[in-house]
Amino acid sequence: MERAIVTEGLTKIYKSGKRQTEAVRDLTLEVKRGEVFGFIGPNGAGKSTTIKMLLSILYPTSGRAWIFGLDARSPDSRKKVGYLPENPRFYDYLSGEEFLRFVGMLAGLSGAKLERKVESLLRYVGIYDARKRKLRKYSKGMIQRIGLAQALMGDPDLIILDEPTSGLDPLGRKLTLDLIRSLRSRGKTIFFSTHILKDVEEIANRVGILYKGKLLKVFSLDEERRGSGDYQIEIENAGIDLLAAAEKLAEPSKKNENRITFIVKEDSLFDFLEIVRDKGGEIVSMARKKRNLEEIFLETIGKG
């Protein structure tokens, strides 16, 4: 499969006098064409610095990056990329329509083709009715959507979004995530950074965890969530004797009338099932417990 982004040993060191700060260290990464890649980490982990190196807004201290096989330092590599920065600052004296027209002219569009593109993008991001309103009167969510529209002006194959849902209310987050899903369905590659793990769980195919400038782990979200060695087992008719014996092997997680759910480690599974049988309990359901992204994230940075 073609790779949209490749980095090898990407490193950024900031120097101030004799002091050095390593913002990103030896980052090697591949992002496949057509996937949604969630780039996660706490604030200050180096996510924005990495993105700026991909776009040559910053130059790496060492290492290299490629966009669809082109050196990221080459202007040609950016012709296929749309970018929405964190906390975008646009010309707020322009209306939404005027701003997109300006962006389209910078992209080389003019005349009827430009007007069709502006209207199409305004409708696509859901702010056509606010097209005459000045940007200074747009809400945070509307600014994010007009920002996404400008990122799409050149019909890019790769869209890079830096914290696209940060600071949005629930409706604004939903609208932004819906737009990302729509772009994915059109075959676009999405690389987005965030510290909001729930958003990543909703839309990402693969995830990279960045912590203190170091890429700790890259994984398929579906595969990693299925990888837990724990079982979730719901028991009915669990008497006192069963509970006392079972709690030595498993962790009760939920009670519902005469049913109780246990989380059981794989190496304790057969002993647990034997206790249930011997103590007169009935198994209502049993399934592998899926780990959520927060559990995976905390486990990973704990090891890092």
Whether residue 125 sits in one domain with residue 201: yes
Q: Write out the residue range of the structural domain in which residue 260 sits.
A: 229-288
Instruction: Check residue 9 and give its pLDDT.
Output: 97
Helix, strand, or coil here: 3?
strand
Helix (H) and strand (E) counts in the chain: 10, 14
Share of the chain above pLDDT 90, in %: 65
Residue of higher predicted confidence among 239 and 257: 239
Other C-beta atoms closer than 10 Å to the C-beta of 38 total 25
CA gyration radius, the chain: 24
Instruction: Check residue 163 and give its pLDDT.
Output: 93
In a domain, 296, yes or no: no
Whether residue 145 sits in one domain with residue 254: no
Average pLDDT rounded to a whole number, residues 237-250: 81
Tens digit of pLDDT for each residue in 168-210? 889 889 999 999 999 999 999 999 999 999 999 999 999 999 9
Q: Give yes or no for residue 107 having a pLDDT over 60.
A: yes
Instruction: Check residue 228 and give its pLDDT.
Output: 63
The top-scoring range by mean pLDDT among 133-142, 168-177, 234-243 is 133-142
Average pLDDT, the chain: 91
Average pLDDT rounded to a whole number, residues 288-304: 83
In a domain, 300, yes or no: no
In a domain, 302, yes or no: no
Instruction: Check residue 269 and give its pLDDT.
Output: 86
Whether residue 237 sits in one domain with residue 193: no
User: What is the side-by-side order of every strand in the sheet holding 250-256?
Assistant: 250-256, 259-265, 230-236, 282-288
Return d(Cα 193, Cα 162) in angstroms, integer.
5
Instruction: Check residue 8 and give its pLDDT.
Output: 98
Query: Where do we find the tokens 């945070």?
Result: 140
In a domain, 304, yes or no: no
Return d(Cα 156, Cα 160) in angstroms, integer.
10
Q: Domain containing 65 — which CATH number?
A: 3.40.50.300
Q: How many domains does the chain have?
A: 2
Q: Domain containing 267 — which CATH number?
A: 3.30.70.1150
Return d(Cα 205, Cα 38) in angstroms, integer.
8
- The structure tokens listed for 112 are 């009827």
pLDDT-derived band of residue 278, with 50, 70 and 90 as boundaries?
confident
In a domain, 53, yes or no: yes
Find the DSSP H helices in the chain: 47-54, 96-106, 111-124, 140-151, 170-185, 197-203, 221-226, 240-246, 269-278, 293-303
